[in-house]
Structure 1
Amino acid sequence: MTPKTEFVKFLGKGSCGSVNLVKYIKSDDDSSLPLYAAVKTAECEEYDTLEREIQVLSKLKGCRSIVQCYGNYTLEEDFDVDGFRVYRMVMEYASAGSLATFIDSYKDSRLSDTLIRDFTRMILQGLVSVHSHGYVHCDLKPDNLLIFPCRESYELEISDFGSSRKVGEKSDCWEVDNPFMGTPIYMSPESVRDNVAEKALDLWSLGCIVLEMYTGVYPWSEINYEDLAAVLLHGEAPEIPESLPCDARKFIETCLARNPKERGSASDLLLHQFLRGEQRMEDTIYDSSLPISKKAIKLKIIPPKPPQFKHLKVKIMPPKPPAFSFIPVQ
């Protein structure tokens, strides 16, 4: 039986088509909870982009920190109210919105250090999957990172793969008057001069995102759009404030290295001190090429008090049980 659908609200517009929140109800007499899904709708001229996106997502099905689709990863064909043919993709709904709206909800648009490190780790876990399957996202930015409430914290997933390309693939997105793949302020210097998708593009974008989470200001906010290509070609990178934690600055500097090879890989960055803290290497578990942090616990044992003596009589006081102070290692 085809479930009944009910439009709830408009969520936004992606690289191809608009996204709405839709409620799916199996039947009127079904007591089970309805399914809420984010439905991306594209017109005929945007079909190729949406088809590319769902094909990439089908390869990443079940991967960590990647938005998942419902159904069998095929586009639904339909007609809009005006009778024009449209195509739909049904995905998970992130009730906390995108990272962009999440940042805006905070005072001064600055996230806490703990959240930044957690979100950065999740982005990298997603990029490990993307890159290991031979793809480059090519448009990594806060708008394309979805936030899902999870108990008392949050989970982050990468979305919007409409601009994705295979590693080494030449792109038709670069143009003389718009020499960027993806969103200019998050794109790397080599995206100005080349037309080949390489994994390092995503790592530069990640550095810009981490910087924005700390400062509350998007990269290159002081530069006019027309001047941005020239700025990048002259060897400049967004300024990193000295007020940031030392390991955070070093992490961002690695992501924003002029030489793409010096950025390393997503797997390398997962092992950066910025994300490991005091965690020991032997406490890292590897599962399908994805490092998962296993927190160690330090035990501080307070020894029992020595026996108490009074005059010539010996009175032995029983030792107090050891007291344990659990100090989680970040």
Structure 2
Amino acid sequence: MRRYRKKPKMDQTKPDATFIKTLGKGAYGSVDLFSYTKDDGTTFHNAVKTTDSEDYNSIEREFRILTKLRGCHGIVQSFGNSLRQETDSTGKKVYKMAIEYAAGGNLTEYIRINRRLSDSVIKDFTRMILQGLVSVHDHGYVHCDLKPANLLLFPRYDQETWFCSYELKISDFGLTVKAGDESVCWEDSSPFVGTPLYMSPESVRDGRVEKTLDLWSLGCVVLEMYNGKHPWVGVCVDDIKSRLLSGKAPEIPRDVPCDARLFMEKCFARERGERGSASELLLHPFLNGEGKVADGDAGGGVRRRVGLRIRKPPSRFEDITTHGPKQKARLRNGPL
């Protein structure tokens, strides 16, 4: 029997905000950028996710999970003590959630602009994703929709050195469930827990999910960073289902380095137990062949930002990503 949660009290206060632009739209609503003015006259930016009453359960679940993950590395942060309830221009009830604004866009855009990423950049982004997954899994959740579009980039700009570093965080927890639970979206007619291109074989068989599902999705993300293309490119959804059930995984190009291939093959293991855990993957030679693992580091990984030098500093912080975060030849790593 399906249990219904009592809706929490909504935040009815309405701070002064100025709409800037729409950042994106999806099946469960839209995300817009707003600027806010403090009492001292300074301004800051937040992204605001909006959905209508029909999709209330999704945004309420996401807000509840993000609240529990506040302060965790690699996770997009939410703000406020509750969702905001408003009415749109047509008088329809909507719900809003304020989250961090990722001025660097998402990983999909980054890959599109840069095509194939360098080996060092891929390793750094993979470390960041895994550290976010350690936080998610340690709280008993499975993200269920890990893909480049849900991995956001946050530029950190140093005005003195003209150095721009990027931090990657996991976002969009609308499909997230507790490990061992059934997915909220799985159906016989559409047997995928999340986005088909990034889903694991077990998600096709039933709607019950475990943490290792996210690790298969991670392998797909790493493959896309190397290949510059979606996994299963040119394959229709029905064929993806049949290929997964027949024991196939996305094809890894021959020019991928050996350690990266072994990492992805571990993510694509048919037996979910052979994929290990997010913490164990942080110790994989693919991520630690060039550096020593820091003693006492949470999850066993060295956390870094991906950085680049720009020839001319932008006049405004937002100008860094006007045309997207383009990869330069002089990429280097810097400690957090």
TM-score (norm 2): 0.82
Aligned equivalent of 1:58: 67
Post-superposition Cα deviations, 1:258-297, rounded to whole Å, max 9, x if no partner, equal 11111000000000001111434xx52224x3334289xx
| Number of residue equivalences | 288
Q: Which runs of 5+ in 2 are unaligned?
A: 1-12, 158-163, 305-332
Q: Quick one: structure 1 residues 46 and 244, their matched pair in 2 at CA, closer, same or farther if it must change by over 3 Å?
A: same
Which of 269, 274, 279 in structure 2 is aligned with 1:262? 274
Q: Which runs of 5+ in 1 are unaligned?
A: 296-327
Aligned equivalent of 2:6: none
Q: How does 1:1-330 map to 2 (within 5 A)?
A: 3-26=15-38, 30-32=40-42, 34-72=43-81, 74-106=82-114, 109-151=115-157, 152-280=164-292, 283-287=293-297, 289-293=298-302
In 1, the alpha carbon distance for the partners of 2:152 and 2:72 equals: 15
Q: Quick one: structure 1 residues 172 and 293, their matched pair in 2 at CA, closer, same or farther if it must change by over 3 Å?
A: closer
CA positional deviation for 1:71: 2.0
In 1, the alpha carbon distance for the partners of 2:174 and 2:18 equals: 26
CA positional deviation for 1:172: 3.7
CA positional deviation for 1:230: 0.7
- Counterpart contact for 1:211–1:219, Cα < 8 Å: yes
In 2, the alpha carbon distance for the partners of 1:35 and 1:215 equals: 36
In 2, the alpha carbon distance for the partners of 1:91 and 1:294 equals: 23
- Counterpart contact for 1:66–1:159, Cα < 8 Å: yes
> Which protein, 1 or 2, shows the higher relative CO under an 8 Å CA cutoff with sep ≥ 6?
2
Q: Which 4+ residue blocks in structure 1 deviate beyond 3 angstroms?
A: none
Q: What is the Cα-based RMSD across aligned positions, in Å?
A: 1.8
Equivalent residue of 1:290, what SS?
helix
- Counterpart contact for 2:282–2:300, Cα < 8 Å: yes
CA positional deviation for 1:79: 0.7
Aligned equivalent of 1:319: none
TM-score (norm 1): 0.84
CA positional deviation for 1:99: 0.6
Q: Which one-letter code corresponds to 1:149 in the other structure?
A: P
- Counterpart contact for 2:283–2:301, Cα < 8 Å: no
In 2, the alpha carbon distance for the partners of 1:294 and 1:183 equals: 28
Aligned equivalent of 1:321: none
In 1, the alpha carbon distance for the partners of 2:14 and 2:184 equals: 39
- Counterpart contact for 2:220–2:231, Cα < 8 Å: yes
- Counterpart contact for 2:131–2:301, Cα < 8 Å: no
Equivalent residue of 1:228, what SS?
helix
Q: Which one-letter code corresponds to 1:85 in the other structure?
A: K
CA positional deviation for 1:3: 3.4
Which entry has the higher C-alpha Rg, 1 or 2? 1
